[in-house]
Amino acid sequence: MYKTTMQEQRCYRLAAVGLGLLCVLLLTAIILLWIQFNHLAAERDQLQTSYTNLTAERDQLQTSYNNRTMERDRLQTSEEGWVNFNFSLYYVSTEKKIWNESRDDCRERGSDLLMINKRERERDNQKAWIGLSDAETEGVWKWVDGSELITGFWETEEPNIYGDEDCVINDWNWADYPCNRQFNWICEKRILMTV
């Protein structure tokens, strides 16, 4: 009977060690699963926050888009005599005035004389006042917004500053003329797009 008891003890010990190892393995698996669960929960929360932020941004962009579309439609339909091109509206007069009166007319229309900074904007070959002058300081050409001329598209031998020529007309290329001469004029109104 003594041998049986020893064998039983040995079996119990082996069973206890096996159960102990099994418990350690199960505990390790539970800890690893808990860590993975917490990691996935944190990632889910981060994705949910990103989704919420992106949804709010999408809604804001949609509202901005809708506002811009309504503003565009309003400008296209309500500005008689104006031409919409490249985020600006242009008005070409049918009458002739001196430079200051032309600028005043543009201002009454909520705009100013045309400022040309790209070659394609001056394809019109009609002589018309644009918003460039050196009336303030001779030889220093400034736009109506106060910025100095960087690149000009002058006619050959222009500006020639002959006979108090302080204002500029667009006639395919530019020429300086006395500001008291009468020409058509071109107004420009920039379409402001707000976000």
Give the residue, 58 or 192, on which the prediction is more confident.
58
**What's residue 76's pLDDT?**
61
- Provide the b/e sequence for 102-139 (b: ≥16 CB within 10 Å): bbebbeeeebbbbbbeeeebbeeeebbbbbbbbeeeee
Domain ranges of the chain: 1-78, 82-190
**What's residue 192's pLDDT?**
66
Closest CA to 158 of 182, 143, 169, 174: 174
**What's residue 7's pLDDT?**
80
Task: Say if residue 189's pLDDT is above 60.
Answer: yes
- Min mean pLDDT across 22-26, 27-31, 75-79, 176-180 is at 75-79
Residue with tokens 């008891």: 5
What letter does residue 93 receive in the DSSP assignment?
-
CB atoms within 10 A of CB 182: 13
Which residues make Cβ contacts (< 8 Å) with residue 96, sequence separation at least 6?
A: 182, 183, 184
pLDDT tens for each residue of 67-118: 888 777 666 655 678 887 777 888 999 999 999 999 999 999 989 999 987 7
187: enclosing H helix or E strand: strand 184-190
Cα–Cα distance for residue pair 167/134, rounded to 1 Å: 7
Cα–Cα distance for residue pair 98/104, rounded to 1 Å: 10
Q: Enter the CATH code of domain 82-190.
A: 3.10.100.10
